[in-house]
Structure 1
Amino acid sequence: MMGEQYSVDLDALEKAASGVNGTLDEISVQKVSDIPHDTSAMGHGELASTLSDFLSRWQRGVDNLSKDGQEIATRLTANVNAYRAVEEHTHQHFHGMLHGTGTDPGVR
């Protein structure tokens, strides 16, 4: 039985990394803490305090998701670079073998 073949869509990986980075850029433009939540905006001190606590927790969550998103984008990009490096090395190796400019691992 022949082994199953697989392929990696490097353009899709690059687009995914770019999309994650674009989303992170958008998130960095406006912070959750920019939402008005002082007593004058709320009209009620206790409500303002509760909303402030909520927004603080929400911002921590967004910050954590942003860090995770950055890690995802970094790893996607690293994988694209690794696949391309292997493809280039393999191409050069076989090109050298076919044109007599490389070493043939089968010849001793």
Structure 2
Amino acid sequence: MATKKVSDIDAPEGAFGHDELAAAVVDFCDRWNIGVSHLASDGAEVSDRLNHCVKSYEKTEQHIQLSAQGILQSSSGKDPGAS
């Protein structure tokens, strides 16, 4: 996406043989390029947010695990769940 623009795939205006058709193709490719750029940046934003969610889940899981270990290893007496 970063190395090849959509507008690079259209042909020179003279290749169409019709000025209005050539202008329509150029306009289409320019708009398409804008849309593709938006999709790429939106995809990057989704990826960043998902990575943030993963990190939050990992921190929460670690906190719960440490809390559970602290409860089970409490010095207040024998573990009531142990048989």
- TM-score over 0.5 for the pair: yes
SS in 1 for 2:38: helix
Q: Shift in Å at residue 89 of structure 1? A: 0.7
Q: Structure 1: any 5+ residue segments left out of the alignment?
A: 1-26, 102-108
Q: Structure 2: any 5+ residue segments left out of the alignment?
A: 76-83
TM-score by length of 2: 0.73
Instruction: Tell me if 1:81 matches 2:55.
Output: yes
Q: Provide the alpha-carbon RMSD of the alignment.
A: 1.9
Corresponding residue to 1:100 among 65, 74, 80: 74
Counterpart-to-counterpart distance in 1, 2:27 and 2:12 = 11
Counterpart-to-counterpart distance in 2, 1:33 and 1:93 = 56
Structure 1 residues 27-81: Cα deviation after superposition (integer angstroms, max 9, x where no partner): 33422011032224x2425132221111001111111111221121111111111
Match of 1:70 in 2: 44
Counterpart-to-counterpart distance in 2, 1:43 and 1:98 = 77
Q: How many residues align?
A: 74
Match of 1:51 in 2: 25
The structure whose RCO (Cα within 8 Å, separation 6+) is larger is 1
Q: Shift in Å at residue 90 of structure 1? A: 0.7
Corresponding residue to 2:12 among 38, 50, 54: 38
TM-score by length of 1: 0.58
